[in-house]
Amino acid sequence: MLKTPEPTTFSRILSVGASRGSKAVTNDDIAGPIDSSDEWIRQRTGLITRARAAEGEEAVDFATAASLEAIEKAGISPDQIDAIIVATISNPVPTPSLSTLLSARIGAVGAAAYDISAACAGYTYAVAQADALIRAGLAKYVLAIGAEKLSEWIDPTDRSISFLLGDGAGAALIGPSDTPGISKSILGSDGSAWDKIYMTNTLFEYRDAKNTTSDSDTAEINWPTIRQEGQAVFRWAVWEMAKVAKEALEIAGVKPEELSAFIPHQANMRIIDEFAKQLKLPSNVVIAKDIETTGNTSAASIPLATHRLLEEHPELSGGLALQIGFGAGLVYGAQVVVLP
Please give the Cα distance from 196 to 162 (Å, whole number): 15
Does residue 230 touch other proteins according to CB under 8 A?
yes
Contacting range for other proteins; rule: CB under 8 A; set: 78-86, 101-109, 199-207, 224-232: 224-232
Is the Cβ of residue 44 or residue 313 nearer to other proteins in the bound state?
44
Residue 91 bears catalytic tag: no
Among 31, 117, 234, 256, binds other proteins (CB under 8 A): 234
Pair 270, 46: CB distance under 8 Å: yes
3-state secondary structure the chain: CCCCCCCCCEEEEEEEEEEECCEEEEHHHHHHHHCCCHHHHHHHHCCCEEEECCCCCCHHHHHHHHHHHHHHHHCCCHHHCCEEEEECCCCCCCCCCHHHHHHHHHCCCCCEEEEECCHHHHHHHHHHHHHHHHHCCCCCCEEEEEEEEHHHHCCCCCCCCHHHECEEEEEEEEEEECCCCECCCEEEECHHHCCCEEECCCHHHHHHHHCCCCCCCCCCCCCCCEEECHHHHHHHHHHHHHHHHHHHHHHHCCCHHHCCEEEECCCCHHHHHHHHHHHCCCCCCEECCCHHHHCECHHHHHHHHHHHHHHHCHHHCCCEEEEEEEECCCEEEEEEEECC
- The catalytically annotated residue of 27, 91, 268, 296 is 296
Segment contacting other proteins (CB under 8 A): 17-25, 97-105, 182-190, 227-235?
Answer: 227-235
Is the Cβ of residue 10 or residue 234 nearer to other proteins in the bound state? 234
Q: How far apart are CA 273 and CA 271, in angstroms?
A: 6
Answer for which of 92, 239, 247, 282 binds other proteins (CB under 8 A) is: 239
Decide if residue 114 touches other proteins (CB under 8 A): no
Comparing CB distances to other proteins, the nearer of 147 and 271 is 271
Q: Does 235 bind other proteins (CB under 8 A)?
A: yes
Judge whether 296 counts as a catalytic residue: yes
Position among 10, 29, 42, 44 found at the interface with other proteins (CB under 8 A)? 44
Q: By CB under 8 A, what part of segment 261-290 binds other proteins?
A: 268, 270, 274
Q: Which is nearer to other proteins, 51 or 267 (CB)?
A: 267
* Minimum CB distance to other proteins, residue 201 (Å): 23
Q: Which is nearer to other proteins, 238 or 324 (CB)?
A: 238
C-beta closer to other proteins: residue 80 or 160 = 160
Binding range to other proteins, per CB under 8 A, among 18-26, 101-109, 228-236, 316-324: 228-236
232 contacts other proteins (rule: CB under 8 A): yes
Residue 42 as a binder of other proteins (CB under 8 A): the answer is: no
Confirm or reject binding of residue 231 to other proteins (CB under 8 A).
yes
What amino acid positions are annotated as catalytic residues? 120, 265, 296
Q: Which residues contact other proteins by CB under 8 A?
A: 44, 229-232, 234-235, 238-239, 268, 270, 274
